[in-house]
Structures are given as structure tokens and as C-alpha cells.
């Protein structure tokens, strides 16, 4: 492997004194420690925590309680959420300090700790600005309350589509938990089903919100196995479900389920000189950041680069920049690459090499697994050049910096760029930008040197969540 290594490995996490950390379910009657618990292990396989797994009966009783609880008064809600966000990011919550929490997330998910820290800050900011964010989504003709003078003689009120909102959370990146705060501020009662891979973030955020004053009957943490997980979606009015293609397909016909699937974020170099000039150099910064920031584990990380011209020098330049990233345990401050248990890493490597068979591997051809010697392994970047813009591998999204580089020309049109969460287009052709912004299967377009993972409160990530949660209702009085 070509990666740089950190110094000798210390034992990164001591077994917690007094046994594994207990992550209880947070039900309508408070915390519940189930007899049935899932062991949450760090990337070396060492048990770190036990996550209570609640039975169907507990889920159903929780959802009934959410339904029985009225919506919280909207006045203080935003302030409560902001306070909780601050405690989440900076305080001691459920006995864990913020640095301890960040280290644990890093150790169990393998996401570099610096990425976890910035996600923590992002959740704090999302909480602070949640009210403003949902207002961004509100149709301009609507008002918040039926008593608003503008409903006299007929007007529109922005109203919830349901009462109970469920989230099947993802475990790939802690940042996903900033989103459902919007449902909470809109008066939804919320049930979060944490991922068994990384339950610390939702547990901490729900705990912080409860400590800040959200009632136990308005916000639940319902860890369950996959048999019971469907019950949460069935029992809620609206749901947000994270998952792969199979999950997206499963819920395609369900109007009350919003899926967040693979991002397949892309970069299009529309008319950049792919020689070694200054044009490519600044585009390279954008591309490399899009591929490797966030550890390459987020749905907004670029997984494909399309080049109008010869893709080879672009792939080569990206590979050169990514080759030097260090292999470090995830909790190391300087870590930038994700880590997984070695066996899982080997499976990913085998899959990647199978997919890349026949293509040109500029990076990763000798494998992407760099073992740290403690049962875990760094997933090193891969850069693969393909020869057609419609090569099937361009849809392959893997949880580490892995990019497929392909040729594209204006005559290929928008087709290869479809089904994309974020598309960064670098080029001067405004008519092309126009077509990309118009294309329904491209969720977000970044024009110019803005990496695919750029995000800000108030700017939609995959549409505004509130577009799904709310509707306009006529009121005349």
C-alpha cells in the first residue's frame, strides 16, 4: 500500500470502566433498558456499547403516546431546540462530554474524528437556525396561523400533513441528524430509529432535546431490529428513511415515505483545459475536496467525474493528490480516511476490484485496504478511469473516497448526469447549466468551484424537508 502511516499504534479506546456504555431506548415513559441488546463494537471489533432493542409492543405504545400528545406550542420550541443543539455540541449529555462522544462516534463508525467534530458543529448550527430554515420552505402566499389577518376574506395557512413523523436514520455520517429537527419545530411528534452502526448521535441529540424541555411524549428514540423497524414507518403519518437502492425502491410508491438514498454526486468539467494549466489546478482543488472531505462517506461526496476531453490527465492528477493521504486510526486528529473492520474492508475491496475489472485504476489497483494491525483497516482512495460516459460503474457509490472518471462531450447530453444529488459543473456554458438546473433527477447544481459537499442552513439538501411535511390549506373567515 502506498499510504503514509502514522506512528506506532496505541490502544485507542480503553474498555469503559463498569462495562459497555448503555444506550437505552427513550420511550414515552422515559428511558427503557431492554433485555434484548445489540452490541455496538468499534472498528477493531471491541464492544463499546450496548443498544437496547425494543420489541414491537414498545414501538406501538410509543407511537400511540406520540399521537395522543398534542403539538408543542410553537413559541418556545425553536429556542428549546437551539439550546439542545448547543448542549449537544458542547455540553455533557447523558454522562458523555462532547469530545468523548466524538471519539466514540469516530471509533464505532470509522469516520475521521475531525469530520465528526464538524458534523457536531453543523448540527448545532442547524438547531440554532431551524426556524429560519423551515421558513425558507414556506410558500410565500401562506401564513403560519389561521388567526393571521390575511386569512380574512380567504388565504392560505401552512399546515402539517400529519402528526407523527418517523426517521429511519443512517449510520454513515452523524450529520444526517440535523435534518429531522425541522419536523420537530413544525410541531411534529418524532420517533427516531437509530442505526445500529452509530447510535450515539441520535441518542445524544434526543437526550439533549429532552433535557432542554421537549416532552418525553413528543420525541422518542426507538432502537429496534429490522423486523420491527417497518412498524415504525407503518405507524407514523410521514417518514424519512435512509437506505440503499433497495430501500428507495421499496418505498417508491409510498407517498408518505421520503427516502434519502445513495447520492451519486458528480462533477462535470464541461470545458476545462485538461492540460496542466491553472484551469485544471483550481478545478482539481474542488474535485479533490468533493471526493475526500467528510472522509468520502457522505452522500454529497463526489463519486463520478465527467470530463469534456481526455479524462486520463484528470484521473492522474486526482490520483496523485489522493495518494498521499495518511492512514491513521479514525480518532487521530489528522485522520482523513475512513476505517472499517478489516473483514468488511476486504469485502469492499473485492467488490471494488470486481467492478473495476477492465478499467484503468490510477489509484487502488493494488487494493484499498491498509491494515492498522488492530483488526481495523483504513479504506484508501481509489481513482478509476472508464472509457464511456454511460459505463454502468458510474452508479457505484462506496463508503470511502472512490471516484470513477469518464469522458463526456456535449453530444452525450444530460443523460449520464441524471440521478444525482449534487452536481458541480465547472464551465462557462450557461445553456448547459440551464439544462442541468431544469433536469428533475438532479437535486442540486453547484456552478463553478463549489465542492459537492457544500451545505448551509436554509439551502435545501434534497429539497426542503418541509416541502414534504407541510401543505397549504385554504382558510376563509
Partner 1 sequence: MAVASDPVLTFPPDQVPDPEEFIQAAMRWHFGPETGSPYWLRRARTLDFDPRRDVRTFDDLRLFPNIVNELRDVPARDLIPQGYGPSTEVIGVYESGGTTGAPKRVAYLADWMDRYVTWSTGRMDERGHPRDAHWLAMIPSGPHLWGEVVARQARRRGGFTSTIDLDPRWVKKCIAEGRGDEAGRYVEHLLAQGEFLLETQDIGVLVITPPLLERLAQHEHLVKLVNEKIQVIIWSGAHMDADSRHLFRTEVFPDVQLFGNYGSTMILCGAVERAGSEDECVFDPFAPHISFSVVDPETGQPVPYGARGQVVMNHVSRSALLPNNLERDVATRIRPEAGQLGDSVADVSPVRTFDDEVVIEGVY
Site for partner 1, rule CB under 8 A: 29, 34-36, 54-58, 60-61, 64, 170-173, 195-197, 225-226, 242-245, 247, 261-263, 297-299, 301, 344, 347-348, 351, 396-399
**For partner 1, which is the closer residue by CB, 242 or 464?**
242
Separation CA 370–CA 85 (nearest Å): 36
**For partner 1, which is the closer residue by CB, 30 or 275?**
30
- Residue 291 Cβ, how far from partner 1 at the closest point, in Å? 13
**For partner 1, which is the closer residue by CB, 158 or 180?**
180
CA distance to 137, 144, 155, 458, 474, per residue, from 140 (Å):
9, 11, 11, 15, 14
Q: Which segments of 39-137 does DSSP mark as H helices, in order?
A: 56-68, 74-90, 98-109, 113-128, 130-137
CA–centroid distance for 35 within its chain:
30
**For partner 1, which is the closer residue by CB, 156 or 304?**
304
Collapsing DSSP to helix, strand or coil, 410 comes out as: helix
**For partner 1, which is the closer residue by CB, 316 or 344?**
344
- Find the length of the chain: 477
**For partner 1, which is the closer residue by CB, 29 or 147?**
29
Which residues are CB-neighbours of 326 under 8 A, at least 6 positions away?
Answer: 3, 4, 5, 6, 334, 335, 336, 337
- Residue 171 Cβ, how far from partner 1 at the closest point, in Å? 7
- How many other CB atoms are there within 10 angstroms of residue 1's CB atom? 15
**For partner 1, which is the closer residue by CB, 134 or 465?**
465
- Residue 11 Cβ, how far from partner 1 at the closest point, in Å? 26
- Residue 195 Cβ, how far from partner 1 at the closest point, in Å? 8
DSSP 8-state secondary structure symbol assigned to residue 147: T
Collapsing DSSP to helix, strand or coil, 49 comes out as: strand
CA distance to 64, 221, 465, 468, 473, per residue, from 70 (Å):
12, 18, 21, 20, 20
**For partner 1, which is the closer residue by CB, 407 or 451?**
451
Separation CA 251–CA 379 (nearest Å): 31
- Residue 392 Cβ, how far from partner 1 at the closest point, in Å? 12
CA distance to 208, 215, 461, per residue, from 124 (Å):
11, 20, 17
- Residue 170 Cβ, how far from partner 1 at the closest point, in Å? 4
- Residue 408 Cβ, how far from partner 1 at the closest point, in Å? 23
- How many other CB atoms are there within 10 angstroms of residue 254's CB atom? 13
- Residue 248 Cβ, how far from partner 1 at the closest point, in Å? 9
**Do residues 409 and 429 touch, judged by C-beta distance below 8 A?**
no
Amino acid at each position: 500500500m502506498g499510504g503514509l502511516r502514522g506512528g506506532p499504534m496505541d490502544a485507542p479506546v480503553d474498555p469503559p470502566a463498569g462495562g459497555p456504555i448503555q444506550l437505552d431506548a427513550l420511550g414515552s415513559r422515559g428511558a427503557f433498558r431492554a433485555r434484548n441488546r445489540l452490541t455496538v463494537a468499534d472498528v477493531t471489533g471491541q464492544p463499546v456499547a450496548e443498544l437496547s432493542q425494543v420489541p414491537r409492543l414498545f414501538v406501538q405504545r410509543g407511537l400511540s403516546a406520540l399521537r395522543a400528545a398534542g403539538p408543542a406550542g410553537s413559541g418556545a420550541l425553536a429556542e428549546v431546540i437551539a439550546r439542545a443543539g448547543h448542549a449537544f455540541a458542547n455540553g455533557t449529555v447523558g454522562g458523555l462530554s462532547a469530545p468523548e462522544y466524538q471519539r466514540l462516534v469516530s471509533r464505532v463508525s470509522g469516520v475521521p474524528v475531525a469530520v465528526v467534530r464538524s458534523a457536531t458543529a453543523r448540527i448545532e448550527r442547524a438547531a440554532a437556525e431551524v426556524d429560519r430554515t423551515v421558513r425558507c420552505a414556506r410558500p410565500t402566499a401562506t401564513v403560519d396561523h389561521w388567526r393571521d389577518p390575511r386569512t380574512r376574506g380567504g388565504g392560505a395557512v401552512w399546515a402539517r400533513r400529519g402528526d407523527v413523523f418517523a426517521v429511519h436514520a443512517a449510520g454513515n455520517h452523524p450529520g444526517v441528524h440535523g435534518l429531522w429537527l425541522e419536523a420537530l419545530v413544525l410541531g411534529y411528534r418524532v420517533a427516531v430509529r437509530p442505526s445500529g452502526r452509530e447510535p450515539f448521535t441520535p441518542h445524544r441529540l434526543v437526550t439533549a432535546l429532552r433535557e432542554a424541555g421537549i416532552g418525553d411524549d413528543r420525541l422518542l428514540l426507538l432502537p429496534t431490529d429490522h423486523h420491527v423497524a417497518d412498524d415504525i414507518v407503518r405507524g407514523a403519518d410521514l417518514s424519512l428513511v435512509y437506505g440503499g437502492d433497495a430501500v428507495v425502491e421499496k418505498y417508491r410508491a409510498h407517498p408518505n415515505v421520503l427516502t434519502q438514498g445513495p447520492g451519486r454526486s458528480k462533477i462535470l468539467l464541461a470545458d476545462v483545459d485538461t492540460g496542466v494549466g491553472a484551469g485544471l489546478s483550481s478545478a482539481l482543488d474542488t474535485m479533490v475536496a468533493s471526493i475526500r472531505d467528510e472522509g468520502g462517506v457522505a452522500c454529497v461526496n463526489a463519486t463520478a467525474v465527467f470530463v469534456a476531453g481526455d479524462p486520463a490527465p484528470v484521473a492522474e492528477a486526482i490520483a496523485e493528490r489522493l495518494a498521499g493521504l495518511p492512514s491513521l486510526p479514525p480518532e487521530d486528529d489528522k485522520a482523513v480516511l475512513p476505517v472499517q473492520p478489516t473483514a468488511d474492508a476486504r469485502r469492499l475491496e473485492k467488490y471494488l476490484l470486481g467492478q473495476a475489472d477492465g478499467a484503468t485504476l490510477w489509484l487502488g489497483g493494488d487494493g484499498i485496504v491498509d491494515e492498522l494491525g488492530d483488526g481495523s483497516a483504513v479504506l484508501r482512495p481509489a481513482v478509476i478511469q472508464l472509457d464511456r460516459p454511460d459505463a454502468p460503474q458510474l452508479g457505484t457509490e462506496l463508503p470511502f473516497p472512490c471516484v470513477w472518471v469518464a469522458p463526456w462531450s456535449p453530444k452525450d447530453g444530460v443523460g449520464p448526469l441524471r440521478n444525482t444529488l449534487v452536481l458541480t459543473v465547472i464551465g462557462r456554458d450557461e445553456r448547459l447549466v440551464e439544462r442541468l438546473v431544469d433536469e428533475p433527477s438532479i437535486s442540486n447544481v453547484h456552478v463553478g468551484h463549489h465542492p459537492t459537499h457544500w451545505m448551509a442552513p436554509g439551502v435545501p439538501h434534497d429539497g426542503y424537508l418541509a416541502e414534504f411535511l407541510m401543505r397549504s390549506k385554504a382558510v376563509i373567515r
